[in-house]
A and B are shown apart, each in its own frame.
Chain A
């Protein structure tokens, strides 16, 4: 079975502070992992994927197979980063975690 766990429902940080959104997964095969984001009143959209190893909007995520984690990080949070973030795993179809609501306050 495949499972994605996002332990934090809500994460509140001040503007300029570092932010880390946690994601752990369980999957018996070789996973493909993603972060999707949903800004207020917008569609859910891809933020980044681990195979691309890219930084999008200052966010990065590293796949740690030993810890089965794919945490999303940004060194300096901005108010426009406030959104709902979902970690997703593809093994069979596309499965999402429960999401973390990030609130960046001035």
Chain B
């Protein structure tokens, strides 16, 4: 069975400080993993994806995530937060089927 746990529903960081959004998954197979971001009144935008290639995945806007199979984690990081990063972030897993399984989302606030 597939499931995704986003460990924090809300994260606040100061502008210019690092961002860490945590995600753990459970999967019986080798999953594909994604991070999506949703800004207010916008659609879900793909930040990055892992599909069994390099375990450190670089995405758009300076974000990256590392697939750690031993820890079943796929945490999202960014070295320095920008005001425009304030949004809701979703960790997503897909196994062998067509469905995406979403976490409950993490709302990121960036404090000036």
Binding between chains A and B:
no
A→B interface (CB under 8 Å):
none
